[in-house]
């Protein structure tokens, strides 16, 4: 076991590829793989420990930008990020609370990835929800080199299916939730056997009974 001080201190990543940012997901799950403690409409602040919350901020500080799904944002209305970070939300409906801190803290640093016919306040960037095309734009027009995706389960699956994720951070919280229909690290449609993705374990840390795992995609 090591002290919290050493975990993810001075986190570094490889350089970004030409057509998109270097992309990593961070999530916390129970031992049985669930990523919520209540329903999927509710916040999950009680899933990870205070150490997990601290490490989440450390991982955020190593990114230029954070992207989340509309479900994650609706479930956690007080969600905030440091004002110097770009923050993006992926939505089809556009049903978002534009009065929440996610939008008001740094309006000029907000991007809404939504279909063209969705109305987005002019204070924010309106980007396409074609995620591959938009990642190219983030890299080549906004200069974003390192992008953190913080869930939820549905949007993680969208990026993983397209094989656009370089690293996965997982906090394994020593809890059991149960439930067939609750979100996991990534939902979506299953991959075929031939498409199952492999990852190397890059780092692992234990603090108390919690495990902090960092995986990198194996290049085929
Ligand atoms: N344990 C963790 O680390 C963690 C992290 C984050 C969230 N969570 C929890 O996970 C739950 C939310 O997860 P979730 O899987 O339900 O939701 P989610 O992945 O955050 O968001 C799903 C929403 O994203 C939008 N979306 C997905 N694909 C899209 C596409 N291709 N184009 C445009 N929009 C797209 C849709 O928004 P619209 O409905 O607006 O169309 C969809 O309803 C919450 O309970 C939250 O607290 C847990």
Task: Please say whether the beta carbons of 167 and 51 come within 8 A.
Answer: no
pLDDT tens string 50-83: 999 999 999 999 999 999 999 999 999 999 999 9
The residue-averaged pLDDT of 205-216 equals: 98
57's enclosing H/E stretch is helix 50-61
**Considering the entire predicted model, what is its pTM?**
0.98
37 lines ligand 1 (CB under 6 A): no
Q: What is the DSSP letter of 144?
A: -
181 lines ligand 1 (CB under 6 A): no
Distance 193 CA to ligand 1 centre (A): 25
Distance 153 CA to ligand 1 centre (A): 6
30 lines ligand 1 (CB under 6 A): no
Nearest Cα residue to 82 out of 98, 58, 99: 58
Q: Tell which atom from ligand 1 comes closest to the C-alpha of 95.
A: 40
What's the pLDDT at 1?
Answer: 54
What's the pLDDT at 17?
Answer: 94
Res 4 pLDDT > 90: no
pLDDT tens string 116-152: 999 999 999 999 999 999 999 999 999 999 999 999 9
Stated length of the chain: 220
Q: Mean pLDDT, the chain, as a whole number?
A: 96
Q: State whether residue 108 is helix, strand or coil.
A: helix
pLDDT tens string 176-203: 999 999 999 999 999 999 999 999 999 9
| Nearest-5° Cα angle at 170, 168 to 173 | 175
* Residue whose CA is at the smallest distance from ligand 1 atom 13: 152
The pair of structure tokens assigned to 18 is 């030409």
- Bridge pairing between strands 146-149 and 22-29: parallel
CA distances from 57 to 18, 82, 176, 189 (A): 27, 9, 25, 30
Res 166 pLDDT > 90: yes
Residue 70's Cα: distance from chain center in Å? 12
């Amino acid at each position: 076991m090591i002290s919290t001080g050493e975990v993810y201190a001075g986190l570094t990543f490889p350089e970004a590829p030409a057509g998109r940012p270097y992309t990593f997901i961070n999530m916390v799950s129970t031992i049985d793989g669930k990523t919520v403690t209540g329903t999927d409409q509710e916040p999950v602040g009680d899933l990870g420990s205070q150490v997990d919350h601290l490490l989440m901020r450390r991982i955020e500080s190593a990114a230029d930008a954070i992207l989340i799904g509309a479900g994650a944002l609706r479930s956690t209305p007080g969600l905030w990020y440091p004002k110097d970070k770009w923050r993006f939300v992926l939505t089809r409906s556009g049903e978002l609370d534009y009065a929440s801190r996610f939008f008001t803290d740094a309006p000029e640093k907000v991007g809404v990835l939504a279909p063209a016919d969705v109305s987005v306040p002019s204070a924010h960037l309106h980007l396409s929800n074609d995620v591959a095309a938009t990642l190219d734009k983030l890299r080549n027009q906004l200069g974003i080199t390192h992008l953190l995706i913080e869930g939820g389960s549905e949007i993680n699956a969208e990026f993983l299916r397209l094989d656009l994720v370089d690293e996965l951070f997982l906090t394994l919280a020593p809890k059991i939730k149960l439930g067939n229909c609750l979100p996991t690290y990534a939902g979506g449609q299953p991959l075929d056997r031939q498409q199952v993705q492999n990852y190397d374990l890059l780092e692992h840390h234990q603090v108390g009974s919690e495990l902090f795992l960092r995986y990198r995609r194996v290049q085929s």
